[in-house]
Amino acid sequence: MRLPLLAATGPMGWLGIVAAALTVYALPLVLDDAFFILVMQSLAYLYIVAIGIDILVGWTGQISIGHAGLYAVGAYTSALLTTKAGFSFWASAPLGVVAAGIAGGLLALPSLRAKGPYLAMVTLAFGFMVEVTANRWDFTGGPMGIMSIPGPRLPSGEEMDGTEYFWLIGGTAIVVQVLTANLYRSRIGRTLFALQGSEVAAETVGINVYAWKVLAFVLSSVCAGLGGVFFAHQNGFINSDTFVFGLSVQLLTSALMGGSGTLFGPLVGSVILNLLPTIFAHLHEYQLYIYGGIILVTIVFMPRGIVGSLLQLNVVRGLLPKPAAIAPDPSVIAELREGARPTVTVRDLSKHFGGIRALNNVDISIKPGTVHGLIGPNGSGKSTFVNVVTGIYKPTSGEVEVAGKQVGGSSPHGMARSGITRTFQSIRLFGDLSVLNNVMVGFHLQLRYGFLSHLFQTAGAVAEEERYRRRAMALLEFVGIADRAEDLAQNLSYGEQRRLEIARGLATKPKLLLLDEPAAGVNPTELHYLADVIGRIKAAGVTQVVIEHHMELIMGISDTISVLDFGQKIAEGTATEVRANPKVIEAYLGAPAEGETHG
């Protein structure tokens, strides 16, 4: 019998949870000192906030230097509800968390399209807005803040003492960590890591990147709000001095320093950053030197953070439990053939960039179950073709039709839903995910269990994951890299990465798979393998468009070849026909130089 919440928890996990619970229980009893307990309380709730930052920054690849604002929303909501509306802590705390979650959702809106420094600015501006509002608004008490915020009461009606409050916060932190671990190992964590790996690739397997980013912001904000609530009721007093830029930096630092995306990084980072000031209390004047110095040294010398750097060591990796072998479920291959195998028609497709006609009135009809080659010299419009057909570019005019239904012009994840997916000329894998998980991301549109099921690890969600892991394994076997299933995708050889991209594409059950220069950078041995894989995909019944420069490959595998030059289709036919076509020869080899004929 297993508890749904802890379905994925092995004996080691149980041991960890019990040990953590015992530690939380024993700490204030062993070290019974009011100041120390206060420090431990702060450590515990800031750790919860750091977990939230890690979900946003370490998993999803976004950045936030304004988390103090979300933390403040939680703190002020709960403080105001208890002091002004007479709510009890138990009623106000969840509302504080909800308010922070809503604020996070709102913050996500301007953040969706902003990247790098622009995203940093959005979060920073948000943080400042909250700080200034808290400082200037009478309702939030202005600079005087809010006083006599009641602590939580026990069922007996007594207010919790410091030790009990620490137990509450520490216990909550353990629960948050367990739930986070559930997400981390599940579909949810995988999808967020995929956004970090490549937003474009995530889109092409059907992930609605914007929606998932909003989820990451909300999750992160919920954690921040929870931490803020605990802070507000800790001392019975809050004012805007707490929620400053420096706090946002500290929170970000604890996630990154510990090791972002590592599950235990936030814990390590929070412990170090929160205990440091206590340890170095007597060096008061040098505190910022130490703090700044530690940030700098870890960032420069341990770019993956403390836990991340440890995990790079083979010694440490050897200690980690080996994942159990997964029995492949080959039905996934058979199912590739299922359902309608429609003709994909590209009609009169044009794409102009400013004055440049990258693609000009191209008509191509792709017969079901065939391999359709697309060739042409550099700059002839092949890549543009793939980008338009997969929805990455909007066509200037023209249509893409699957089984007579117009699908052109929708987003890449919409195209994936219509059954069109692709691989990339410059490989776009989710580098921080395992090979197996890269394929698992490809199943995105077929998975039925959502966020809550995965958060609580319901039996259904766990079984579904298990089922699809077996199918993923079969796809890895199909492309010949099953032995690398547990390696990180970024550690594969180039040829293996190409094949992994193909396996990921196949996981979407595509009606049309576009391979964009699959042979680029692949060595001759791997090349044979690639041709073989393309042949087997064809045998499995999937329609493919292959863009390639490697002529031997493309001539060998294609049923039909279309030739593009200067954005126009100049020839179409079998390999032999195309090869003999003088237009094609001229496009490729060029007309002889004029000088040659004269001299």
Partner 1 sequence: MLQIRGLKVAYGHIQALHGIDLDAKAGEITAIIGSNGAGKTSTLMAISGLAPITGGEIKFEGQTISAIPAHAITRLGITHILEGRQLFADQSVEDNLILGGYSRIGKDKAAVMAAVEREMDRFPILRQRRKQQAGTLSGGEQQMLAMSRGLMSEPKFLLMDEPSMGLAPLIVQEIARTIRMLKDSGRAILLVEQMAAVALGLADRAYVLESGKVTITGTGAELARDPEVKRAYLGG
Partner 2 sequence: MFANIWQAVISGLSIGSIYALIAQGYYVTYITTSTLNFGQGEFLMIGAMIGLTAYVVLGVPFPLALLIAVVATGLMGIALERIAIRPVLRHVLTHSWVLSTLAISIILKNGAVSLWGPEQIRFPSPFGEEVLKIGNAGIFPQELFIIVCALGTVAAVQLFLKKSILGKAMMAVAHNRNAAAVMGIDVKRMVILAFMLSSALAGLGGILIAPVTFAWAYMGTVPGIKAFAAAIFGGLENPVGILIGGLLIGLLEQLFGVINSNLKEGITFLFILIMLAFRPTGLMGRRTVEKV
* Six token digits for residue 482: 């099953």
Q: Of 226 and 575, which CB lies nearer to partner 1 in the complex structure?
A: 575
- Is residue 313 near partner 2 by the rule CB under 8 A? no
Q: How many CB atoms lie within 10 A of CB 45?
A: 27
- Is residue 237 near partner 2 by the rule CB under 8 A? no
* Type and span of the H or E element at 266: helix 265-279
Q: Of 333 and 386, which CB lies nearer to partner 2 in the complex structure?
A: 386
Are 247 and 68 a contacting pair, CB within 8 Å?
yes
Within residues 370-389, the interface with partner 1 by CB under 8 A covers 377-379
Are 504 and 448 a contacting pair, CB within 8 Å?
no
Within residues 391-430, the interface with partner 1 by CB under 8 A covers none
The amino acid sitting at 458 is T
Are 236 and 150 a contacting pair, CB within 8 Å?
yes
* 387 interface partner picked from partner 1, partner 2, none, CB below 5 to 8 A per type: partner 2
285 Cβ partners below 8 Å, 6+ apart?
Answer: none
- Is residue 354 near partner 2 by the rule CB under 8 A? no
Single out the residue of 21, 200, 272, 276 in contact with partner 2 (rule: CB under 8 A).
200
Lay out the site mask for partner 1 across 524-563 (x = CB under 8 A, - = otherwise): x--x---------------------xxxxxxxx-------
* DSSP strand pairing (512-516 vs 344-353): unpaired
- Is residue 296 near partner 2 by the rule CB under 8 A? yes
Lay out the site mask for partner 1 across 322-361 (x = CB under 8 A, - = otherwise): ----------------------------------------
For the chain, helix, strand, coil in percent to 5 are: 60, 10, 30
Shortest Cβ 291–partner 2 spacing (Å): 6
Q: How far is CA 417 from the centre of its chain?
A: 19
User: Using the 8-state DSSP alphabet, how is residue 58 labeled?
Assistant: I
- From 91-99, 264-272, 283-291, 473-481, give the range in contact with partner 2 by CB under 8 A: 283-291
* Six token digits for residue 26: 């024993």
Dihedral of CA 304/310/311/313: which sign? positive
Q: Of 24 and 519, which CB lies nearer to partner 1 in the complex structure?
A: 519
- Is residue 494 near partner 1 by the rule CB under 8 A? yes
Within residues 15-74, the interface with partner 2 by CB under 8 A covers 57, 63, 65
* Six token digits for residue 59: 């998993």
* 287 interface partner picked from partner 1, partner 2, none, CB below 5 to 8 A per type: partner 2
Outline where 418-523 has alpha helix (H). 435-442, 451-455, 459-479, 494-507
Q: Of 24 and 564, which CB lies nearer to partner 2 in the complex structure?
A: 564
The amino acid sitting at 443 is F
Q: Of 286 and 494, which CB lies nearer to partner 1 in the complex structure?
A: 494
Q: Of 169 and 546, which CB lies nearer to partner 1 in the complex structure?
A: 546
Angular region, 539: left φ>0, alpha ψ -120 to 50, beta rest:
alpha
Within residues 131-170, the interface with partner 2 by CB under 8 A covers 132-133, 135-137
- Is residue 287 near partner 2 by the rule CB under 8 A? yes
d(CA 23, CA 15): 12
3 state SS of 518: coil
d(CA 71, CA 475): 44
d(CA 435, CA 326): 13
Question: Which burial class, exposed, middle or buried, applies to 411 when counting CB atoms under 10 A from its CB (0-12, 13-18, 19+)?
Answer: middle
End-to-end CA distance of the chain: 89
Shortest Cβ 588–partner 1 spacing (Å): 6
Are 373 and 554 a contacting pair, CB within 8 Å?
yes
Shortest Cβ 308–partner 2 spacing (Å): 9
- Is residue 424 near partner 2 by the rule CB under 8 A? yes
* Type and span of the H or E element at 346: strand 344-353
Lay out the site mask for partner 2 across 100-129 (x = CB under 8 A, - = otherwise): ---------xx-xxxxxxx-xxx-xxx-xx
Q: Of 154 and 288, which CB lies nearer to partner 2 in the complex structure?
A: 288
- Based on its alpha-carbon atoms, the radius of gyration of the chain, rounded to whole angstroms, reads 28
Lay out the site mask for partner 2 across 246-265 (x = CB under 8 A, - = otherwise): ---x--xx--x---x-----
- From 29-37, 239-247, 300-308, 520-528, give the range in contact with partner 1 by CB under 8 A: 520-528
Shortest Cβ 15–partner 2 spacing (Å): 31
Are 549 and 375 a contacting pair, CB within 8 Å?
yes
Are 36 and 488 a contacting pair, CB within 8 Å?
no
- Is residue 540 near partner 2 by the rule CB under 8 A? no
* 461 interface partner picked from partner 1, partner 2, none, CB below 5 to 8 A per type: none
- Is residue 356 near partner 2 by the rule CB under 8 A? no
Are 429 and 500 a contacting pair, CB within 8 Å?
yes
* 303 interface partner picked from partner 1, partner 2, none, CB below 5 to 8 A per type: partner 2
d(CA 258, CA 20): 18
* 589 interface partner picked from partner 1, partner 2, none, CB below 5 to 8 A per type: partner 1
Q: Of 338 and 594, which CB lies nearer to partner 1 in the complex structure?
A: 594
* 115 interface partner picked from partner 2, partner 1, none, CB below 5 to 8 A per type: partner 2
Are 36 and 43 a contacting pair, CB within 8 Å?
no
* 379 interface partner picked from partner 2, partner 1, none, CB below 5 to 8 A per type: partner 1
Residues of this chain that interact with partner 1 (CB under 8 A) are 377-379, 492-494, 497, 517, 519-521, 523-524, 527, 549-556, 566, 575, 579, 584-586, 588-596
Residues of this chain that interact with partner 2 (CB under 8 A) are 57, 63, 65, 109-110, 112-118, 120-122, 124-126, 128-129, 132-133, 135-137, 200, 245, 249, 252-253, 256, 260, 285-289, 291-293, 295-296, 299-300, 303-304, 383, 387, 392-393, 424-426, 428
